[in-house]
Amino acid sequence: MNKLLNAALVAGGVLLGSGVLHTAHAQDKVLNIYSARHYPGDTQLYEGFTKATGIQIKRVDADDAGILQRLKAEGTASPADVILLVDAARLWKAETEGLFAPVNSKVLNDAIPVHLRGKATPEGTPWFGFSTRARVVVYDKARVQRDNVDTYEKLADPKNKGLLCTRSGSHPYNLSLFGAVSEHLGAAAAETWLQGLVNNMARKPVGGDTDQIKAVASGECGVALSNSYYVARLMRSDKPEDKAVMDKVAVVFPNQSSWGTHMNIAGGAMAKHAKNPANAVLFLEYLASPQAQNYFANGNNEWPTAKGVKVDNAALDTMSGGSFKSETIPISVVGMNQVKVQQMLDRVGYK
């Protein structure tokens, strides 16, 4: 069985130590996952792991906030072994609330870039990013010039007054972006920038990212922020109404001449009170394999994080032009900035 398992996972790009395998066999052949991911490709992801290892997956699906509340309520009695969340701010929050157990894994340390995982301690790394999504700018091709919105800073310029639409400033996707901007500009300049965004709003923040894109297409807004996978979904849609939306808008990957486009992550961690810790590490290592990276990332139109892995996704290639400059500040720092960013949002009236 050890030879079969190693062969299956090595074929997928994962090389596991015999110590992990031995411990995994000593545990039940089960893995309990609490997941905030709800994407079609994930079924293949889980099936691939079970086929390679014989470990059966039991999954609880909820949103990020619901998962964190459940973990805190269950305490040491929680059956969760692995936690999958979809935002750096949420991963950081779970880490600070003591809901993760650090992981020491050469496989993961070699595969996942340092800036896309939690800050390591002598005990290990608290969480790992397994896919990335860009926070892009969507604009009305008929009303807005690309040069006026090709950086995050320009969104606060008075020339864009009355044009900007976003979802809530306190949504984790925006908190992560604003935390990154604060790291780049410094706190004082970032707060001035946030005030500029508020001043340029076409309407109060409402809805999700897809709503912002459609508001640009309808003419309600001239420019908006969105995660890249929402744009990709519309690009890949066969619905005439979605095609009509994409005919009216264009996409910018901001700050290509400076620090690069902000990248957020979806990631995973071992639960603090995991009952099957070796199985949990085995699964997290599996997520770094080329096969799993394609399921994990491409299932939601994202980019893989593991070094050397590429995804064949025509929508992402078209949107980005095949390549783009992304920021490389540690995602863990972005999460740490969210408390002070929320205070800034309150002061400038960004709802």
**Per-residue pLDDT tens digits for 81-98:** 999 999 888 899 999 999
Q: What is the pLDDT of residues 182-215, one digit of tens each?
A: 999 999 999 999 999 999 999 999 999 999 999 9
Q: What is the pTM of this model?
A: 0.87
Question: Stretch 319-327: mean pLDDT, rounded?
Answer: 93
Question: Stretch 123-138: mean pLDDT, rounded?
Answer: 97
Q: How far apart are CA 108 and CA 87, in angstroms?
A: 19
Strands 128-140 and 100-101: unpaired
Q: How confident is the model at residue 27 (pLDDT cuts 50, 70, 90)?
A: low
Would you state the pLDDT for residue 42? 85
Query: Is residue 302 a contact partner of residue 42, using CB atoms and an 8 Å limit?
Result: no
Q: How far apart are CA 345 and CA 335, in angstroms?
A: 16
Would you state the pLDDT for residue 196? 98
- Say how many C-beta atoms besides its own lie within 10 A of residue 104's C-beta: 12
**What would the two tokens of residue 161 be?**
């007054």
Which of 79-93, 212-226, 282-296 is predicted most confidently?
A: 212-226
Q: How confident is the model at residue 2 (pLDDT cuts 50, 70, 90)?
A: very low
Quick check: helix, strand or coil at residue 25? helix
Would you state the pLDDT for residue 318? 93
| pLDDT for residue 5 is more than 60 | no
The tokens 């079969």 sit on which residue?
4
Question: Stretch 25-31: mean pLDDT, rounded?
Answer: 73
List CB contacts of 340: < 8 A, sequence separation 6 or more. Answer: 182, 187
Would you state the pLDDT for residue 121? 93
Mean pLDDT is lowest, of 6-15, 52-61, 127-136, 318-327, for 6-15
Write phi, then psi, for 209 (nearest 5 degrees): -65, -40
Mean pLDDT of the chain: 91
